[in-house]
Chains A and B, each alone.
Chain A
Amino acid sequence: MIWDEKHERMKKEEKESLQSDRLKAMVERVYKKVPPYRAKMDEKGVKPGDIKSLEDLRLLPFTLKTDLRDTYPFGLFAVPVSETVRVHCSSGTTGKPIVVGYTAADIDIWAETMARTIAGAGGTSNDIIQNAYGYGLFTGGLGIHYGGERVGATVIPISGGNTERQLMLMEDFGSTMLASTPSYSLYIAEVAQDKGVDIAGLPLRCGILGAEAWSDAMRKEIEKRLGIKAYDIYGLTEVIGPGVSFECEEQHGMHICDDHFIPEIIDPETGEVLPLGAKGELVFTTITKEAFPVLRYRTRDITRLIEEPCGCGRTSVRMERVSGRTDDMLIIRGVNVFPSQIEDVLMRFAGAEPHYLIVVDKRGAMDELEVQVEVSEGTFSDEVKELEDLRARIAHEVESVLGVRAAIKLVEPRSIERSIGKAKRVVDKRNL
């Protein structure tokens, strides 16, 4: 179901004219109201009047995460704090968080983009949405909440954690949609299994899952174990929160709400705008938000844009599943390699959650890539030839996916260091 027929099915020319008008007004406003943006534009010698069309977007300076951090807490707000009705923060793991503000109109935009997201997964006023995203400073919980109410669904604001209670309400209330991170959905399935709850037999029909990187293999695992259809949703606090882009029933890329957020793909090294369809770093410019607009914000997420018409009838540009982060990118013999690509291959052999370590070293002038993979009881064979065969198949798959040869080393379980939270996946000895 399409939530906003007018905007989601807008013709290309009409959309571009709307984007262009909104962009010009936004740049004008930001230049006037936000000193750090004005300083950056002045430094680049760009005046609001230079932005005459969408093409001129590339004249504007980029905004980096550090720019957002340096202006803590309200330095990039384009309205006085008294005009905002809410603030959220990004989960800053080091130092001060990034603070974003919303006016009442911004909250309304957000509820609309989230309503589109929920409708994209087939959600209607008949649905019961179990919202297991965290409520609080994090945008996930309240983002889903307002979108769910906007479509008229029944929202269970359970927030994350307390998995046994999640299961109890899921059974007793007959939740039809689960909103959570992909990994938490799998955890719920695990607990269900331990408790003898047949989760696949419950009325739960789909999941809108996001806020972390996941692979297609993981999607299949979730769909199988929970007996649902799993939809990928994308968003980031700096842009608005969840509701930036979402999958429809076609599940061929995520539709970007591009009447609010204009995407670009750039070369992360040079900053150059890449042609449509090329893979690179995703950049967003918000063109409707009042309190916290961003000019060409570098997300550090790697993806590509898809412009071909979608079978669902929406005309918005789509983005592929994020395949990595510029911060994790390794350059091996001149080829860009992302740990997520390797993880994807390993998932196919080892099932969910493979433990692996990528070791990069130099032999002479040549980069050497080694992937250490823990042998689990599922992959272990008593026969040498089968283990050698497993190793050869992994090596072949990795090479065909990356375009770079990697040595695969089978190691004992738990020989790769475990960490709580974000796993350490890469050791780059070239920098030592």
Chain B
Amino acid sequence: MVRQISVFLENKSGRLAEVCKLLGEVGVNIRALSLADTLDFGILRLIVNSPKEALDALRAGGFTVKESRVLVVEVNDEPGGLSQVLGTLSGVGVNVEYMYAFVEKSGDKALVVFRVQKPEEAAKLLDEKGVKMVADEEIEKI
């Protein structure tokens, strides 16, 4: 499992830039991100190389943040690759809350972030099915 950071953002200009600036200043590298938005607010989700520094910097900058656990799954970078993983997830009865893809690739695999309700259980089920997942330490190295 991988630590994900979520940030509450008001829908006004410059907020996303402010987050990136704060992270840049403390040398945190963003690995993957997704922005969910509504009329008034957005939720920014981030996978970074050093979550602790990122949390501290954002809190100090006055943002409301939350840490959660997500699954980062290796998907074959070929047609039908994602479909295969989703099939396995639904096969073991895991419901996906949301998902987004990684910016970077590792070899010939793509990385996809899944937020599911019971990540630990889901990770165990996927592992039994032979699905490869990435851990925190590996994210730091990417």
Expressed in whole angstroms, the minimum distance between the Cβ of B117 and any Cβ of chain A is 10
Q: Which of B4, B6, B40, B98 contacts A410 (CB 8 A)?
A: B40
Residue of A nearest to B41 (CB): A410
> Are A412 and B38 in contact (CB-based, < 8 A)?
no
Binds B, one of A132-140, A210-218, A375-383: A375-383
> Are B62 and A381 in contact (CB-based, < 8 A)?
no
Contacts of A409 in B (CB 8 A): 40
Contacts of A156 in B (CB 8 A): none
Q: Which of B41, B63, B68 contacts A387 (CB 8 A)?
A: B41
Q: Which of B8, B38, B45, B115 contacts A375 (CB 8 A)?
A: B8
A382 to B117 CA separation, bound complex (whole angstroms): 12
> Are B63 and A412 in contact (CB-based, < 8 A)?
yes
A381 to B6 CA separation, bound complex (whole angstroms): 8
**B:23-45 near A, CB below 8 Å:** 36, 38, 40-41, 43, 45
Any chain B CB within 8 A of the CB of A83? no
A406-424 interface code vs B (CB 8 A; 1 in, 0 out):
0001111111000000000
Contacts of B115 in A (CB 8 A): 382-383
**Contact A380-B38, Cβ < 8 Å, known A387-B43, A413-B63:** no
> Are B68 and A412 in contact (CB-based, < 8 A)?
no
Any chain A CB within 8 A of the CB of B129? no
Expressed in whole angstroms, the minimum distance between the Cβ of A285 and any Cβ of chain B is 50
Any chain A CB within 8 A of the CB of B64? yes
> Are A382 and B6 in contact (CB-based, < 8 A)?
yes
Any chain B CB within 8 A of the CB of A384? yes
Any chain A CB within 8 A of the CB of B128? no
Residue of A nearest to B67 (CB): A382
Residue of B nearest to A410 (CB): B41
Any chain A CB within 8 A of the CB of B65? yes
A28 to B31 CA separation, bound complex (whole angstroms): 84
> Are B36 and A384 in contact (CB-based, < 8 A)?
yes
Any chain B CB within 8 A of the CB of A388? yes
Any chain A CB within 8 A of the CB of B10? yes
**B:57-112 near A, CB below 8 Å:** 62-66, 68, 97-98
Residue of A nearest to B5 (CB): A382
Any chain A CB within 8 A of the CB of B2? no
Contacts of A411 in B (CB 8 A): 10, 41
Any chain A CB within 8 A of the CB of B9? yes
> Are B38 and A377 in contact (CB-based, < 8 A)?
no
Residue of A nearest to B9 (CB): A412
Residue of A nearest to B45 (CB): A382
Contacts of A384 in B (CB 8 A): 36, 38, 43
Contacts of B43 in A (CB 8 A): 382-384, 387
> Are A382 and B68 in contact (CB-based, < 8 A)?
yes
Expressed in whole angstroms, the minimum distance between the Cβ of A298 and any Cβ of chain B is 41
A377-399 interface code vs B (CB 8 A; 1 in, 0 out):
10011111001100000000000
> Are B10 and A377 in contact (CB-based, < 8 A)?
no
Expressed in whole angstroms, the minimum distance between the Cβ of B84 and any Cβ of chain A is 26
Residue of B nearest to A411 (CB): B10
> Are B9 and A382 in contact (CB-based, < 8 A)?
no
Contacts of A376 in B (CB 8 A): 64
Expressed in whole angstroms, the minimum distance between the Cβ of B66 and any Cβ of chain A is 5
Expressed in whole angstroms, the minimum distance between the Cβ of A4 and any Cβ of chain B is 53
A374 to B43 CA separation, bound complex (whole angstroms): 14
A247 to B62 CA separation, bound complex (whole angstroms): 41
> Are A412 and B98 in contact (CB-based, < 8 A)?
no
Q: Which of A383, A388, A413 contacts B64 (CB 8 A)?
A: A413
**Contact A381-B10, Cβ < 8 Å, known A387-B43, A410-B41:** no
**Contact A375-B64, Cβ < 8 Å, known A387-B43, A409-B40:** yes
A377 to B8 CA separation, bound complex (whole angstroms): 9
Expressed in whole angstroms, the minimum distance between the Cβ of B17 and any Cβ of chain A is 14
**Contact A380-B64, Cβ < 8 Å, known A409-B40, A412-B8:** yes
Residue from the set A376, A381, A382 with the largest chain B CB neighbour count within 10 Å: A382
Residue of B nearest to A412 (CB): B10
> Are A377 and B97 in contact (CB-based, < 8 A)?
no
Expressed in whole angstroms, the minimum distance between the Cβ of A385 and any Cβ of chain B is 9
A349-392 interface code vs B (CB 8 A; 1 in, 0 out):
00000000000000000000000001111001111100110000
A381 to B66 CA separation, bound complex (whole angstroms): 7
A413 to B58 CA separation, bound complex (whole angstroms): 12
Complex A-B: 10 CB contacts under 8 Å: A375-B41, A375-B64, A377-B66, A380-B6, A380-B66, A382-B66, A387-B41, A411-B10, A412-B8, A412-B62
Closest 4 CB pairs of A and B: A382-B6, A414-B62, A380-B64, A375-B8
Q: Told that A382-B4, A412-B62, A413-B62 touch, could you supply 18 new A-B pairs with CB distance under 8 A?
A: A375-B64, A377-B65, A380-B6, A381-B66, A382-B6, A382-B66, A383-B97, A383-B98, A383-B115, A384-B36, A384-B38, A387-B8, A387-B38, A387-B43, A388-B38, A409-B40, A410-B10, A415-B10
